[in-house]
Amino acid sequence: MSEFIDGFIEKAKEGNNRIENELYSKYDVKKGLRNEDGTGVLVGLTKIADVVGYKKINGKKIDCDGELYYRGINVSDIINRREPNQRFLFEETCFLILFGYLPNSEELENFKKELSNRYELPPYYLESKILGFPSKNLMNKLQQEVLMLYSYDSDPDNISALATMYKGLNLIAKIPSIVCYAYRTKVHYFDKESLFIHQIRPDLSIAENILYLLRDHKHFTPKEAEVLDMCLVLHADHGGGNNSTFTNVVISSTGTDIYSSFAGAIGSLKGPKHGGANLAVMKQMQLVIDEIGLNASDEQIKQVIDKILSKQFNDNSGLIYGIGHAVYTLSDPRCIILKQQCKDLAVEKGREAEYDFYHRFEQLATAEIKKRKNINVCANVDFYSGLIYDMLCIPTELYTLMFVVGRTVGWLAHNIENKLYSGRIIRPAAKYVGETYDYIPIDKRK
């Protein structure tokens, strides 16, 4: 640290450098690309996904139950109306998001083969790029590996829609094994655990392979694989306005390669206000449980919630991670689905007490925020996903990476859609609100 630099950083917050809050209203600048009523500023058109959390009636925002659509099909229907013997839906969801319609059985099988044929990493890639370069931060490591795959592409800067599709499918297929191998390498080198490496199996789904690669004994139950697959489905896309997808499209709009676009999107997803929220929820809830125990009364839970909101507990941010969403108000459809899966998995794992605590905390937290701020809030997709991953024995370091595995298909679809139908570099404006000055030679400055 430098006192010299620290002093000037403080000066940068004052005087002529300070941007007063009223200037945002004066020039009608949307903070965080949000309107005054909290709705997002429209920045594009898409036919890939629709996120519904409110309606506009006579120009007024009206809260409603949340819905999520992939290519016009309600995600809840994808999950709830599947065939009894159809346990894995992520690959079918990828097809739907990428090509715009539900595949027949032959098309789905061919698409699965297209993915499984791309599972394997390039020769010696595992040894030289992953095992040889361990990293403590796996999100940063995945960024490095995605950029490294650029070097293994014979035509990496081909940004045509067709070439982007092939490159994107390659990334969708390879990222799961990279994630698992990077984790095993990390715990071997830094945590001194035994190193085991399993070969990825083309006969398994992506969800099954993740559990297969992560566990030394390779075994998992059908329910475990089904729940993880469902998590991937629910994370596959969330419209063109979510931060990582928008980041991917912004970078891609410059005409750069898909590897650079995806690396930027991964960096966006790393943050605790986006993909990193599931890990933030898990840390928060563990602190709460350590403080008051699973058998705490509702009154004790309310007291902890009050301390969190008053910036006196957890990270002192005043935020309750997992509660509230930028679009959803009354309910997050993804959370509703995961909540039921979490309950079912808790029964299988004998962890009903933890699920019950989460459920009570959710109800009390949403009620308290409603009381304090007079706004509708709901638990979001991250609230139960961390507990689900914990019951699946997925290490905490991989929680956000599971988000990446699911969201990669959404990034690809929006990347291609923007190439086909927009094509312009994304370049919004920012209003200059400072003064102008004459340049003074250095020998005449005070």
Catalytic residues: 325, 382
| Closest to 185 measured CA to CA, from 239, 148, 145 | 145
How far is it, in rounded angstroms, from Cα 32 to Cα 326? 11
How far is it, in rounded angstroms, from Cα 223 to Cα 391? 11
**Structure tokens belonging to residue 42:** 């429209």
| Pairing status of strand 73-74 against strand 49-57 | unpaired
Q: In what side-by-side order are the strands of the sheet with 49-57?
A: 49-57, 60-70, 73-74
At residue 89, φ and ψ (nearest 5 deg) are -120, -10
Q: Is there a contact between 381 and 66 (Cβ–Cβ < 8 Å)?
A: no
Strand partners, 68: 51
